[in-house]
């Protein structure tokens, strides 16, 4: 139980959930089993809540540079799951997340104001599939190169990627099963690659050490010499685990179809499914800041 003073602090900070509305596990039996076995998540909700409370308290007491952007259970639980309930690692990821938010204002100003990247969202630069991969992972598709003639095009693409990731993370099963990432580089040119070389390290650091996302597979299609330039720059900052999950497919979709049913893939990925539902996802993202799930 929280003291009266702690309750007041919660309310003054605009906490979205009343204290009586603590996290209650509503995972499917399969998802809970996976979380327990693979992420070391406590099956007992009281033990889970104790871990959340300890992470919250440690951040507020030990991390002096930042104030928690969100204090609710659901937000903090993402970081515990991401680090398999290792308290120290979860705390470090949470700190890194806040550090990037504070220092990378050119991107997070766009993330927090998605209407500023409306035209990028309108062409579907980052859109997930509605169906999952065969292993249960969610599927997020990025197309850097769509409408990126602007000077800050790569920053807008990164903002769209972060925004899309944040939205997907609202789904608890995505936190547990992770994501299969697809990057289609057909329209990716040398100009965009030069932009990427200047900010690629920061983006990779954020996605690996700050965002509470489990990238289970990273698939690149139609890579070109421009891609080689980027990869040479960011490779030193990609951790071995992620490098091992990176697959370059060229223009072949055969291995992708082994991971994802072709009936769920759009034609540009060799599938027989519908085109990406750009308007649906754009609407979801533009509502993100008004969503008080959190």
pLDDT tens digits along 258-293: 999 999 999 999 999 999 999 999 999 998 654 444
CATH of segment(s) 4-103: 1.10.8.20
Q: Spell out the domain ranges in the chain.
A: 4-103, 106-290
Cα(50)–Cα(57) distance, rounded to whole angstroms?
10
Query: Which whole-number Å values give the CA distances from 149 to 108, 117, 153, 190, 192, in the listed order?
Result: 21, 14, 6, 11, 8
Burial class (CB in 10 A: 0-12, 13-18, 19+), 64: exposed
Edge-to-edge strands, sheet with 179-184? 126-128, 138-142, 179-184, 215-221, 246-250
What pLDDT does residue 13 have?
41
For residue 182, the SS3 value is: strand
Cα(89)–Cα(244) distance, rounded to whole angstroms?
22
Query: Which whole-number Å values give the CA distances from 219 to 180, 182, 247, in the listed order?
Result: 8, 5, 5
164 φ, ψ (degrees, to nearest 5): -65, -40
* Residues in the chain with pLDDT values less than 70: 1-20, 145-151, 189-198, 225-226, 288-294
Cα(174)–Cα(281) distance, rounded to whole angstroms?
16
Fold of 106-290: Phosphatidylinositol Transfer Protein Sec14p (3.40.525)
């Amino acid at each position: 139980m929280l003291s009266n003073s702690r309750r007041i602090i919660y309310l003054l900070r605009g906490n979205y959930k009343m204290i009586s509305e603590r996290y209650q596990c509503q995972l499917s039996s399969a998802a809970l089993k996976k979380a327990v076995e693979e992420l070391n998540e406590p099956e007992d909700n009281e033990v889970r809540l104790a871990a959340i409370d300890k992470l919250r308290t440690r951040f507020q007491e030990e991390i002096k540079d930042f104030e928690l952007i969100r204090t609710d259970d659901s937000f903090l639980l993402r970081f515990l799951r991401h680090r398999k309930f290792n308290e120290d690692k979860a705390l470090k990821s949470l700190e890194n997340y806040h550090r990037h938010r504070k220092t990378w204002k050119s991107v997070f100003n766009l993330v927090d104001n998605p209407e500023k990247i409306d035209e990028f969202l309108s062409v579907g630069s980052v859109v997930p599939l509605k169906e999952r991969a065969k292993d249960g992972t969610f599927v997020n598709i990025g197309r850097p190169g769509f409408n990126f003639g602007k000077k800050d095009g790569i920053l807008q693409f990164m903002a769209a990627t972060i925004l899309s990731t944040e939205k997907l993370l609202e789904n608890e099963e995505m936190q547990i099963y992770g994501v299969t990432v697809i990057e289609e580089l057909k329209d990716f040119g040398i100009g965009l690659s030069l932009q990427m070389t200047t900010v690629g390290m920061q983006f990779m650091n954020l996605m690996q050490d700050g965002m509470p996302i489990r990238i289970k597979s990273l698939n690149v299609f139609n890579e070109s010499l421009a891609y080689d330039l980027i990869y040479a720059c960011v490779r030193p900052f990609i951790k071995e685990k992620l490098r091992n999950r990176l697959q370059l497919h060229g223009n072949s979709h055969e291995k992708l179809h082994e991971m994802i049913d072709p009936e769920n893939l759009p034609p540009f990925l060799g599938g027989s499914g519908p085109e990406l539902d750009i308007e649906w996802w754009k609407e979801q993202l533009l509502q993100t800041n008004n969503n008080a799930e959190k």
